[in-house]
Amino acid sequence: MSPRARQLPRAELEQILYLVSHSWGDTIIAVGQACGDKPDDMHVVARYTDYRVMVFDLKKIAGRWKITDSGEGSPTLSTVWYAC
């Protein structure tokens, strides 16, 4: 988990994990933000295959986290999504 994700209230972090785990059946690897992201943006990286990951983009809208996009990514490059 990124430093910014660790600062989220527990209820918000649980909401993020719930949304992604119910949208994707595999292991969640990381939750976090890229360094230039706004506070209401978050990313979740989940296992897809041994060589690919799924990246979920979330946005806090009206006080609730929503998945706004998702797509396949590289495990190496996906570390940018939870760097800060």
Query: Which tens digits make up the pLDDT trace of 3-57?
Result: 888 999 999 999 999 999 999 989 999 999 888 889 899 999 998 888 889 999 9
The residue segments making up the domain with residue 40 are 3-82
This prediction has a pTM of 0.88
Query: Which tens digits make up the pLDDT trace of 58-75?
Result: 999 999 999 999 999 887
pLDDT of residue 17: 96
CA distance 60 to 66: 6
State which H helix or E strand residue 55 sits in: strand 53-61
Alpha-carbon torsion (53, 55, 73, 7), positive or negative: negative
Q: Is the per-residue pLDDT at 81 higher than 70?
A: no
Neighbour count for residue 12 (Cβ, 10 Å): 16
What's the domain count of the chain?
1
